[in-house]
Amino acid sequence: MKYRAAWMALWLVLAGMTTGAAAAQREQGQAGVFDFYVLSLSWSPTFCLTHPGDQQCSGKGYGFVLHGLWPQYTQGGWPASCDPQSRLSAGELAKGATLFPSPKLLKHEWSKHGTCSGLEASAYLDKTDAALGKVNIPQQLQPFNVPNSLDAQDIETLFRQSNPAMRSHGLAVICKGKVLSEVRVCLTKDLEFAACPRSVKSQCRDGDIRIPTQR
């Protein structure tokens, strides 16, 4: 009985190690192995409330800016920090500067998310550029034209009206407390609008949320 108990204890330890290793491998992910993209657009004035010294907060009057194009798993979670297919060259850094609001964000997004796309840096930036071109920002949510507050559902409705091909539940509105933080648009790997799975959902309180402006 003692030997049996010892073997059982050893088996449980080994099983736990195997499960932990599998979870760690899934968390890091394998480049190119994912189900869909999330295009994250950050509301810059909210970011700048807590990061006033950041390069994107130097009075440029941004509204929605690119946060990133993220490979995602349908069942939840995402691959992160995969082995890169290539490094960011000087030319790619220059191209990225036309897409991202700061070089710091570009480098972070490539390292954490872009490397898991299975694409080289240049191709990933092209993909990101194409994803940005896919989404029309509503006129009512342009910088200096935005109301002081809106319900999260109203924000989703405005995006769907500006993007008729957007699927039902194809957008998630994200808040920090009662302040607009970002929107996340679900796209297929071919950058067609997609319905977001349950793992991508709006995260805002009921009622109006504040939409800061930057002067």
pLDDT in tens, 162-177: 999 998 899 999 999 9
Using a 10 angstrom Cβ sphere, with 0-12 exposed, 13-18 middle and 19 or more buried, the burial of residue 47 is buried
Q: Which two tokens stand for residue 39?
A: 């295009």
Query: CB of 159 within 8 A of CB of 8?
Result: no
Predicted pLDDT at 96: 97
Distance CA 182, CA 176 (A): 9
Predicted pLDDT at 24: 42
Residues identified as active-site: 67, 109, 113
Query: CB of 88 within 8 A of CB of 121?
Result: yes
Predicted pLDDT at 169: 92
Predicted pLDDT at 65: 97
Predicted pLDDT at 144: 82
Predicted pLDDT at 155: 96
Q: Which residue has the tokens 């109301």?
A: 147
Looking at residue 86, what DSSP letter applies? S
Predicted pLDDT at 107: 96
User: Model pTM?
Assistant: 0.85
Query: CB of 175 within 8 A of CB of 204?
Result: yes
Which residues of the chain fall short of a pLDDT of 50?
Answer: 6, 9-10, 12-26
CATH class of 32-210: alpha beta
Predicted pLDDT at 18: 39
Predicted pLDDT at 61: 86
List the beta bridge partners of residue 43.
Answer: 64
What is the domain partition of the chain in residue ranges? 1-30, 32-210
Predicted pLDDT at 21: 40
